[in-house]
Amino acid sequence: MGLPGVHRVQVNAMTRRTRIIFDPHQTPLSSLLEALTGAGYQPRPLDARALDDARRDESKQLLKRLLVAGFGMMQAMMFALVLYLGPDNEIQGATLELFRWLGFLVASPVVLYSARPFFAGALQAWRARHLNMDVPIALAIAVIYGASFFQCLTGGTEVYFDSVAMLVFFLLTGRYLEMRARHRALDHTDALARLTPSWAEKLDSDDQPHRVALSELVSGDRVRVRDGGSIPADGLLLDSRARVDESLLSGESRPVEKCAGDRVIAGSVVQGQAITLQVTHCGEDTFLANLAGLATRAQTERPRLARAGEKTASRFVLRVLGLTALTALVWAIVDPSRLLDACLAVLVVSCPCAFALAVPAAITRSLSVLARQGVLVLRPDGLEILAGVDRVVFDKTGTLTEPSIAVTALDDSIDMDTALQWAASLSDTSEHPLSRALANSNDRALLPAHHARVLPGLGITGTVAGRALRLGRGDFATGGGEGEDDLLLADNEGVLARFQVHERIRADAGDLIDQLTAWGIESEILSGDARARVAEVASQLGVAAWRGRCMPTDKLARIGELRQAGHRVLVVGDGSNDAPVLAGADVSVALSSGSDLAQAQADIVLCSGRLSAIAECRTVARTTLRVLAQNQRWALSYNLCAMPLAAMGWVPPWLAAIGMSTSSLVVVLNALRIDRKRSHAGSIQEVQEGARL
């Protein structure tokens, strides 16, 4: 953008989203908005009201332009009929001239108003020194209108006001249908911005509800949510039981049962009876806000295939302009009277709209389908890689298994509740699954943990209640080799408590491993846990390759070995210590229940927590690549067939407009075939939708 402090600008033309990373100290937001406005774009915030306004304005403006073009086309064709029949019916020259000027009058609003988006797009491309699909269209419209106007001024007889009006009408019809398909493809992702209500019922000290704006909520407030209402913030349930619908967030179609103290998520819908919750996170700190932010980042990413498609379309436009010039030269020699029609047909019929839409249409649809299944794709390039993986590497704890904690031994100086309180207070600085298991086992208030430090693969050190503590595996906590299978809490005097870790394999982990094996994809487990526990889990899941006591560096080295051996590696993890491994894989998947760092490094996040969603994601990825290839073959075949016919003068401009619009529409409709059967079922059962990039 040419402004200081702007580090990165990502624009997705299909979704009409822009993501700008900038330094507000060098360039304030107001300057960015002014620059966008000056470039011809109207910036809007990504919230529910702005989304509705943007859709309504886009639809209304395009529909008005389409109606003006349709009315102008019908009137221009009526006047053109008189011109075509005039010589045979001996209509006087003055009358013919009148009807030519009447055609000019009705065609002018069509060109100057209805066709304005094409001219604006071509002008922006010209300023950016880039050739896009609007360039040949705008050139064709301008040539037809200008040549016809010149004929009127000089008393000529060949005017094409009916043709230019018809051309604009058919082009706008195609764009309107594309817009409807695009809005449908973005329904789920945009729905994330609509889930949170704009107000909440806050309870005062006397338990009386008061309606307040969402921005007034702070952590610690108590909020009541009525039956059928949306939860306004993340919090902890204060009632004994509740049922909430989290389908739009996780893809899980059935309501979730919650108990007192369980976490409830903003955007979830209460079912059965009103509930009371204590706010823990509100505003931009909620899980829903983070999810919407990740979705926006995914929408503005431009995949490698999309970038390649844009370059191909730009080169194709240049070739179209060259072919048009060659066509003009040939017809100037053969039959100058047919030169204009042939050149205009080439410009319009060969417009690379289908080329430019082939990739974004397919990827936008696939992101929508996956979002319905509780899968958020952060880097769409990952879909292309996922379709070809041949090795999957899993973390164990928190990924394949769900841990729980039990106290098995205590020092005489400490009781069980205190041991759990100290351990939970120390592990509160970590997002490891074992830390969450300790938090779930502790019933007391957490104590401040000073100088806490997380050592990936080993444990945590810090000072709690004035005592320097170490929590982790035995050799780390005690400096020796004991406690191979247990989690130890120790101080400088020795072991204070021993926690036995019980693990339950996730319900769908076995099904996923079986499906991967059926596809010929090998699975492997790399874990920092004790070898005996890793071996037990691997045996139950039927995984032959596994390693225990792996540090993050060991995992990263193993990933490097697999990649050097020619494997395409998918890594699945959820902890902060998995972040380097997720970043080093060809493609990576993190669970939404995992750490923020793991999600930031992952290509795909499983919001539903279902491991089986990985198999569904790969199926959609392979279907997407197949549809994408079909779209590109169709666009290429259409242009190879249509361009010679247009150059030979066999295609009138109005028919060229129909052909170009139809080719673009075919690409969009074909993209909607991705997981169509599942999409239909999901729309009934899961109430959720949502891409591109």
Structural domains of the chain, with CATH: 6-39 (no CATH), 51-189+301-360+637-666 (no CATH), 199-285 (2.70.150.10), 364-398+508-617 (3.40.50.1000), 402-505 (3.40.1110.10)
Report residue 681's pLDDT band, with 50, 70 and 90 as the boundaries. Answer: very low
Within 10 Å of residue 104's Cβ, how many Cβ atoms?
20
Paired tokens of 342: 């042939």
503-534 CB burial, b ≥16 within 10 A, e <16: beebebbbebbebbeeeebebbbbbbbbeebb
What is the spatial distance between Cα 419 and Cα 279, in angstroms, rounded to a whole number? 28
Pick from 105-114, 225-234, 399-408, 464-473 the range whose average pLDDT is largest.
Answer: 105-114
Summarize the confidence of residues 263-273 as an average pLDDT: 82
pLDDT higher than threshold 70 for residue 249:
no
Pick from 162-166, 514-518, 659-663, 678-682 the range whose average pLDDT is largest.
Answer: 514-518
Cα dihedral 671→179→685→509 (10° resolution):
50
Q: Flag the least confident range among 79-83, 583-587, 610-614.
A: 79-83
Place of tokens 């047919």: 338
Q: Which of 37, 38, 33 is CA-nearest to residue 22?
A: 33
CB 250 within 8 Å of CB 609 = yes
CA distances from 527 to 290, 391, 555, 586, 688 (A): 28, 16, 8, 19, 35
Task: Give the CA count within 13 Å in the CB-facing half-sphere of 116.
Answer: 12
Q: What is the pTM of this model?
A: 0.60
Query: Residue 26: enclosing H or E segment and its boundaries?
Result: none
Backbone φ and ψ for 539, nearest 5 degrees, come out as -65, -40
Query: What SS3 class is residue 1?
Result: coil
CB 479 within 8 Å of CB 461 = no
Please report the pLDDT score of residue 43 as a whole number: 75
Please report the pLDDT score of residue 523 as a whole number: 94
pLDDT higher than threshold 90 for residue 337:
no
pLDDT in tens, 377-393: 877 788 888 998 999 99
CA distances from 42 to 10, 259, 295, 451 (A): 16, 46, 21, 48
Cα dihedral 275→281→287→292 (10° resolution):
110
Q: Flag the least confident range among 131-135, 292-296, 313-317.
A: 292-296
Higher pLDDT, 619 or 227: 619
Query: What SS3 class is residue 395?
Result: coil
pLDDT higher than threshold 70 for residue 121:
yes
Q: Specify whether the backbone of 85 is left (phi greater than 0), alpha (psi in -120 to 50) or beta.
A: alpha
Q: Name the DSSP class of 113.
A: I
pLDDT in tens, 143-177: 878 878 887 887 766 677 877 787 788 778 767 76
Please report the pLDDT score of residue 174 as a whole number: 67
Report residue 236's pLDDT band, with 50, 70 and 90 as the boundaries. Answer: confident
Q: Where are the extended beta strands (E) located within 4-116? A: 6-12, 17-22
Paired tokens of 475: 């050799």
Could you tell me the sign of the dihedral formed by the alpha carbons of 526, 432, 444, 224, in that order? negative
Summarize the confidence of residues 433-450 as an average pLDDT: 79
Annotated catalytic residue within 134, 162, 190, 395: 395
- Any catalytic annotation for residue 395? yes
pLDDT higher than threshold 90 for residue 229:
no
